[in-house]
Amino acid sequence: MTTSTHTSPDLATTPEVAAGAAQFLSPVVLDLEALVVNGKQAHWHVRGGSFVGVHELLDDVVSHAQEYADTAAERVVALGLPVDSRLKTVAEKATLPELADGFHQWPDTVDAVVAQIDAALVTVRAAVAGLDDVDLSSQDVAIEIERGLVKDRWLLQAHVAG
């Protein structure tokens, strides 16, 4: 008895769909990779009375951003296109504001990382809007990333809320 595996092509994935998904998800990957690096930088340099809580939350932000970047990149690659998230590309094309160097008190650190997340959310929300007419599965990826970033933003912002 011979077994054969029949693989049918994904009829919904065309070169145009792949290109559209890459157009919107690649910038998401770049901003999230920048958030990973900047979040870790902030994690190492936070100081003050809420050090432990903020330090630990920043580890979560970094971990989640890396997971989200991986999910977005894998979607593009699954559609057949490469993603360029080399350090040079991230440094040149990410839209996050510059993070100040050195040590910072925890409220300033939280504000800076919230600003990083806010900038990433602009890119993610542009992907959500743009992918509505391109590929709903890719839009689902962007929507899930948006949900996660909003949650991480809320958890950080709750530290400085009065």
Structural domain range at position 64: 15-82+99-160
Number of domains into which the chain is organized: 1
Beta strands in 25-147 (DSSP E): 46-47, 104-105
Residue 89 lies inside a defined structural domain of this protein: no
Q: Which of 19, 30, 23, 22 is nearest to 93 (CA)?
A: 30
Q: Which of 51, 47, 58 is nearest to 156 (CA)?
A: 58
Span 117-158, pLDDT tens digits: 999 999 999 999 999 999 999 999 999 999 999 999 999 999
The token pair that represents 115 in the structure block? 């600003």
Residue 45 maps to which CATH number? 1.20.1260.10
Beta strands in 20-146 (DSSP E): 46-47, 104-105
State yes or no: pLDDT of 92 exceeds 60.
yes
Span 15-69, pLDDT tens digits: 999 999 999 999 999 999 999 999 999 999 999 999 999 999 999 999 999 999 9
Q: What is the pLDDT of residue 6?
A: 39
Burial (CB count within 10 angstroms: exposed 0-12, middle 13-18, buried 19+), residue 92? exposed
Assign 112 to helix, strand or coil: helix
- Mean of the pLDDT values across residues 103-125? 97
Sign of the torsion angle spanned by Cα atoms 21, 23, 28, 33: positive
The token pair that represents 84 in the structure block? 């360029």
- Please report how many Cα atoms fall inside a 13 Å half-sphere around the Cα of residue 104, on the Cβ side: 18
> What's the pLDDT band for 12 if we cut at 50, 70, 90?
low
The residues with which 104 forms a beta bridge, in sequence order, are 46
Residue 112 lies inside a defined structural domain of this protein: yes
Q: What is the pLDDT of residue 42?
A: 98
